[in-house]
Chain A
């Protein structure tokens, strides 16, 4: 039996994927489980295995083309077996003599692999789609054989894809600049940042922390960790720890908005923004409040390496409940980070800089650092968000409190 290969959904937020490379050519034999193609998602590149053994009879989507998830991209079948795409391009009238059913059968044979009118969906997905007035057939399914699940309907609704106008095309006649097509990652960033900026009412709070003690602690721990062969402890690691602690104490900051409900996450999964030559990824350090600093540093090191070598797995980038963006290395003080949706807030770390400051009634040289917190005012109000940032500042100024 012919097996169609579909654009897989490789992450909760993935809506389309780009075929990067076909590892096989049409007519090549393939074994179930061997790499068949690589797909560029909005976040990472992934090799996709052949779902069945047979001959790669038809490549429906060539390399370089971007299609929505669940779109048929190839057909694997036995040699000699008639596959639906065999007749693609030839007219139905030629293929089917008069008297056969040209409408249903011919239409399907002419490249339309999925049977029309039947959508594979779970009962709850059907109910929600009906309640929300969504066309189930337009919702990409992530379940087995493209089955639409509850999460798919919710993601579709959350992405506002129920209808609305199509994007306005740019004015191609003007301008003489070089035109570069957006990479998948660039496009993902564009979509997600717009979504966040235009749906979540942002408020950014800034404060300055005296991190003199934290600097000392970091130096000690860094030396010790390196002496034991660790990757070394950075300020980012310390702030992952601090933020994870503060999030558990301020659960509304660890929440996301889902329809009419707030989802309060019991664990702090802290994402860290990692800059790449052509964009940015936010791998996630899971259950960060339960990890030692050394463990956080090792995991951060692994994730950064994986991000730079393109080896992040879907699980590495999903499920974050809060994000930290560190621009300290660029001598930035405060900035207004954009929230990583659907999270509630993001912390911007500024540079650590020595300045004259009043300390114990004296002007002294102290290490100071600006902290910027952007939060979604739909989820939380100014005072509780400020209290959260105050707690972060307190833990940064007196890191010994982390032992409590």
Chain B
């Protein structure tokens, strides 16, 4: 930085980054996802994964779940900036480690291999609610639901059983117990 000719201040002290899951309830209207995502990219926030779908057809509400990393200050800014958007109704923020919140991602695995390997592949998935969605003599499509890092690990470990293709969703979240986030 010593010889930098850039026009602005040098960055201050760096704080520790945490992973947060931000849930946003928005009006399901044209461009709303672009507003939310644009806010992240425009202000330099991270998006690790994203899941969005309409959850209330009558009220026309969509629920966006974003996994992001940032310092506590940045995460606060994300929430406050999101709340300023006109189509945003409410914003929830959960820490990845939060025991009271369930996080799940879904993945589809396609295996192409001999029957012996295909059986092993299914067995390897057994802890993650595996469902066989499609089956031929030399291939299988298996659906699992799990945490992000579990799916990461699985994708690596399953290559030996003929894993050829992975498709996965972003994380979705819900609180445990009878409480509803207001």
Does A pair with B?
no
Tell me the A residues contacting B by CB distance below 8 Å: none
| B interface residues, Cβ below 8 angstroms from A | none
